[in-house]
Amino acid sequence: MNPALTSLLAASIAFVGTHFAMSHPLRGMMVRLAGDKGFLGLYSLVSFATFGWMIVAFRASPPGIVSSSAGVAAVVSLLTLVAMVLFAGSLFGNPALPDTPVEKVSAARATGVFCVTRHPMMWGFALWAVAHILLVPNGRTLIVAGAILILALLGAHLQDRKKEALLGTAWQGWARQTRFWPQWHKLAFAGWKPWVGGGALWLAATWAHGAMAGIPAGLWPWLD
């Protein structure tokens, strides 16, 4: 394997592995030793360090050939738009954030993109990863996008298990209203905030993709 790809693979494994380790088996011990603020500081430091390593290794890896298929470009644009809608919608009305009081979780009602899935942000990242694998299916993209895909979906599953253990019946009430696997037919009825916010993010991100990465995306190639 190319040395740069080997470094990228190691960085991606470190990024994903430390996230899972610090979020689950090591979290209790780290909080006891460093306190809540100390834990957050260490978590952030390790996350930024391993993510920075990924960026450096990614840039050093051989670039791939972007798919020239108009059909693939259309599918990728649609996937990234949906990803942005889910991401934007996840910022409104999530009752299951860390440290949310149990009574608030128990009284919560699913609205917006939470009617589609209880993990809209994670599914947004997953769709982003799939879109990039379709667009540039080379070694470095498969490694990075694959790492993000695993982190998003396996991380969401582990979050469910942890919250069920911590919150008990309050979590069960929320889980009965929502689904892990998206109910895509409900996305059209998620409300205007996710669509307006997600559409704006999509336009900005696809413009930046062409301006900064040199790969035209979204509607912009059609407007040139």
Q: Is 127 exposed, middle or buried (0-12, 13-18, 19+ CB in 10 A)?
A: buried
Whether 91 and 130 map to the same domain: the answer is yes
Domain-terminating residue out of 39, 62, 85: 62
Whether 23 and 97 map to the same domain: the answer is no
Whether 120 and 15 map to the same domain: the answer is no
Tokens 């306190």 correspond to 35
Print the SS3 string covering 36-51. HHHHHHHHHHHHHHHH
Whether 44 and 74 map to the same domain: the answer is no
Q: Lowest mean pLDDT of 43-57, 174-188, 202-216, name the range.
A: 202-216
Domains: count for the chain: 2
Question: In the numeric block, which tokens belong to residue 215?
Answer: 């790969």
Q: b/e for 71-108, b at 16 or more Cβ within 10 A?
A: eebebbbebbbbbbbbbbbbebebbbeeeeeeeebbeb
Q: Lowest mean pLDDT of 5-14, 131-140, 146-155, 210-219, name the range.
A: 210-219
Q: Is 126 exposed, middle or buried (0-12, 13-18, 19+ CB in 10 A)?
A: buried
Structural domain including 214 reads: 66-223
Whether 73 and 10 map to the same domain: the answer is no
Tens of pLDDT, residues 184-204: 999 999 999 999 999 999 999
Whether 76 and 56 map to the same domain: the answer is no
Whether 163 and 119 map to the same domain: the answer is yes
pLDDT at 98 over 80: no
- Three-state DSSP at 192 gives helix
Cα(198)–Cα(218) distance, rounded to whole angstroms? 13
